[in-house]
Amino acid sequence: MPVQDPHPKYTKHEAQWVRCEDAFEGQDTIKGKTIDSEAYLRRLPGMDEDVSTETRSRGTAEKDSAWKRYVDRALWYNASKRTMRANTGFVFRKEAIVKLPPRMEEATQDVTLGGVSLGAFARRMIAMQVRKGRYGILTDYSEQHKRARLCGYPAESILNWDFRVVDGVRKLSELRLMEASSPMPDPDDPAWRTVRRRQIRVLQLQEEREGVPGVP
């Protein structure tokens, strides 16, 4: 299977995640996608001519204008964002109690090694779970800082996964994550600009070797 092939459940839910994200982003996003593709609003009868042709009759141009005015007058009530914020607030209406060994307490101020505290990371996790129903957390190890860190992945970044039974226990055996590479100089303008490219990170559960347990 090619590394970029998504899981069947990813394919099933991808369009739903896009709609959830558009709904959360609000009216500008909804209307922007509607003008060109009628994603969230259909033309009324009489507005259904092809308006993409460069050479247009006066009547077609007027109908195109009528369609744009129709979309401009539409109102999108962003209940999605209000609901997400309310539900997230319900979860954190009481301050969480965190019990850690003293040597780990300092790390809670920056659990991502990017300046995000444990509390802020937890709020984002719940918010994304409410928004799309899925959010992944990977515990990684930084060789530079010599400690673990938390990496969050939204639903659309968790591309594929698989499980297998090991010693009678069902375990995650493979995980493919889409992520952006570290900033690199732009080949066309290396002195002033950097670019990020999409990459797919593959994690696999390794078979046990003598004296070394299987680890991802």
Distance, CA of 184 to CA of 113 (rounded, Å) = 20
The predicted pLDDT at position 67 comes to 86
Domain coordinates in residue numbering, the chain: 8-73, 79-204
Torsion of CA 173, 176, 182, 183, to 10 degrees: 180
Supply the pLDDT for residue 209. 59
pLDDT in tens, 85-126: 999 999 999 988 888 898 888 899 999 999 999 999 999 999
Tell which phi-psi region holds residue 20, choosing left (phi > 0), alpha (psi between -120 and 50) or beta. alpha
Cα–Cα distance between 50 and 63 in angstroms, integer? 10
Which pTM does this prediction carry? 0.78
Q: Given this model, what pLDDT does residue 192 score?
A: 60
pLDDT given for residue 9 in this prediction:
96
56 pLDDT higher than 80: no
The per-residue pLDDT for range 126-174, each reduced to its tens digit, is 999 999 999 999 999 999 989 999 999 999 999 999 999 998 999 999 9
